[in-house]
Structure 1
Amino acid sequence: METVVRRVIPSDNSCLFNAVGYVMEHNRNKASELRQVIAATVMSDSATYNELVLEKPNDIYSQWIQDPEKWGGAIELSILAKYYKREIAAYDIQTTRCDIYGQGEGYTERAMLIYDGLHYDALALTFFEGAPEEVDQTIFPILKDGTIGHVSKLAEKLVQDANRQRKFTDTANFTLRCAVCQKAFVGQKEAVEHATKTGHSNFQEFK
């Protein structure tokens, strides 16, 4: 019986890039290459990718995104959708929302990711629970109604089940400690402000 499963990507600050690598090419080791693709795209189009969009100067961002310690998000997903000429659907477990990158560009295929507030994994269609990854289907034709048919429904069910089981991190209220100076913070916003001021980028969650 067909089912959508979550393929776990290592938690190494490059999960978004490696999750995209898996769904697009069945390769979990694409982070370095895809970071370079993003940097080159940004550098080649400073009108679209300006300081207002990137929240830092174009050239600084291009260096920043190639650092394996830096995380990716919406900007990077939109660039990678354009690079692969496929839509990328990113499901958020906490809100059960699905953001589709590359929508409206005329692409005919879609791949899917799942996000728990801190981490991205890949989603794949398989013939039965426990089937080997070699038979995973990760790219799906987009139908006339703009969906990927029953696969969308299977993905939504997986996300809703994960939400009910609270398999997400509430980034507005979770507690973090800076591993560099040991200061404690509540929520992602405080941690980001601290990182911006100090350059510290190693945070650990604690209860």
Structure 2
Amino acid sequence: MDGTVVRRVIPSDNSCLFNAVGYVMDHNKNKAPELRQVIAATVASDPVKYNEAFLGKPNQEYCAWILDSEKWGGAIELAILADYYGREIAAYDIQTTRCDLYGQDKKYSERVMLIYDGLHYDALAMSPVEEAPEEFDQTIFLVQRDRTIGPIEGLALNLVKDQQRFHPADKETSILGRKRSYTDTANFTLRCGVCQIGVIGQKEAVEHAQATGHVNFQEYK
């Protein structure tokens, strides 16, 4: 097997999940509006399955919510997109090195890979060499009889573990684009670079950003 698994950075614009999926599925980092429409249509078409208990909000309200370009996607959206494309989506969590596999129950024959740092999704790809241009990326992998994608899984996990290593000197962070490889989303402390207000955890950071439009934060202890 020649090549290496690389992390392809997706723009930090609240639609990183959708654009990361767009890249690994279609080599297109601008699929968010289209994929949000796909998800809304899927959810609206089956209000029994996608009920308020499942979605955390009424079906109609969720559909309007997910079409808002400021809203973030997560597990529900990844599961729907795995079925839409007919491929498994493996999402690697840097903080825990856990891999969440969407579409696994359907036994799809192909898989794509994402990497998640607590707030942001990027794409994973197989490249001939680390510095090769993105047009040489392979992002779709055959699922073998043992339901793995072979040695590529080991390469992906090694990259995730490498990303987990944190250099203490690198403290600058932003909820929309951090230098840091992962974020402890429940307990990290941030100070707004605009108004200097302190927040704790992802929830407070997102609420502050949505209320003020401020998205530049520095981590502090």
TM above 0.5: yes
* Alignment size in residue pairs: 203
Match of 2:150 in 1: 149
Matched with 2:30 is 29
Distance 1:113 1:201, change over 3 A: farther
2: CA distance between counterparts of 1:105 and 1:82?
A: 8
Query: Which structure 1 segments of 5+ residues have no match?
Result: none
Matching residue of 2:218:
206
Q: Report the Cα distance in structure 2 between the residues aligned to 1:202 and 1:16, rounded to whole angstroms.
A: 20
Q: 1:179 to 1:38 in 2, by over 3 A?
A: farther
Q: Cα distance 1:104–1:203, how it changes in 2: closer, same or farther (>3 A)? A: farther
Q: State the partner residue of 2:114.
A: 113
Secondary structure, in 3 states, of the residue corresponding to 2:89? strand
Could you say which residue in structure 2 is the equivalent of 1:5? 6
**8 Å contact kept, 1:177–1:203:** no
Over residues 113-158 of structure 1, what are the superposed CA-to-partner deviations in whole Å (9 max), with x where a residue is unaligned? 0001111000000111111111110000001111100110100000
Q: Secondary structure at the match of 1:43?
A: helix
Query: Structure 2: where are the runs of 5+ without partners?
Result: 168-180
Residue pairs, 1:54-73, within 5 angstroms:
54-73=55-74
Which amino acid counterpart does residue 188 of structure 2 have in structure 1? F
- After TM superposition, the score normalised by the length of structure 2 is 0.85
**In 2, Cα distance between the equivalents of 1:181 and 1:68?**
25
* Contact 1:93/1:163 (<8 A) preserved: yes
Distance in 2, Cα, partners of 1:58 & 1:180: 36
Shift of 1:164: 2.1
The within-5 A match list for 1:80-119 is 80-119=81-120
In structure 2, what residue type is equivalent to 1:206? Q
Compared CA separation, residues 177 and 35, structure 1 to 2 (3 A): farther
Question: Hey, what does 2:39 align to over in structure 1?
Answer: 38
| 1:172/1:38 CA distance change after superposition, 3 Å | same
Name the TM-score, length of structure 1 as normaliser. Answer: 0.91
- Maintained 8 Å contact 2:118/2:183: yes
Paired letter, 1:124: A
Q: Percent of pairs identical after alignment?
A: 67
Asked whether 1:171 is paired with 2:185, we answer yes
